[in-house]
């Protein structure tokens, strides 16, 4: 849980840098492979910064510590691990022939 107050980033170069950081957090190296946003695109996008005033984190390790009444009950209990993976990339229908899969995407497929 994050607590803070959002602030709009209005300066075009700061917006561009923020969008590149987000893009590269999702697909490392991708912002260097695509064209930069145009002035019109930057003007059409609202970019928010969230300075974190307070935060809270809950992490569970191990098995649930259920009371005897719950253990005796009919409900399933356990842990469901979350696994993230990428499937095979699908090229845009209008992609010109001969454009190879970029390095940023190839790296995600072997992760």
Domains of the chain: 2-57+83-110 (2.30.110.10)
pTM above 0.75, yes or no: no
pLDDT, tens digit (0-9, with 9 covering 90-100), for 29-75: 999 999 999 999 999 999 999 999 999 987 777 787 888 998 999 98
Residue 10 has pLDDT above 70, yes or no: yes
Using CA atoms, how far apart are residues 95 and 100, in angstroms rounded to an integer?
10
pLDDT of residue 44: 96
pLDDT of residue 66: 85
Instruction: Name the CA dihedral angle for 67, 70, 75, 81, rounded to a multiple of 10 degrees.
Output: -10
Q: Which residues are bridge partners to 59 per DSSP?
A: none
């Amino acid at each position: 849980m994050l607590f803070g107050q959002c602030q709009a980033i209005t300066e075009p170069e700061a917006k561009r840098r923020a969008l590149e950081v987000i893009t590269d957090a999702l697909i490392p190296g991708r912002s260097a492979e695509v064209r930069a946003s145009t002035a019109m695109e930057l003007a059409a996008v609202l970019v928010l910064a969230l300075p974190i005033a307070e935060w809270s984190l809950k992490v569970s390790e191990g098995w649930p510590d259920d009371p005897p009444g719950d253990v005796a009950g009919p409900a399933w209990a356990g842990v469901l691990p979350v696994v993230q993976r990428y499937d095979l990339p699908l090229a845009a229908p209008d992609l010109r022939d001969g454009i190879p899969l970029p390095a940023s995407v190839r790296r995600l497929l072997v992760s």
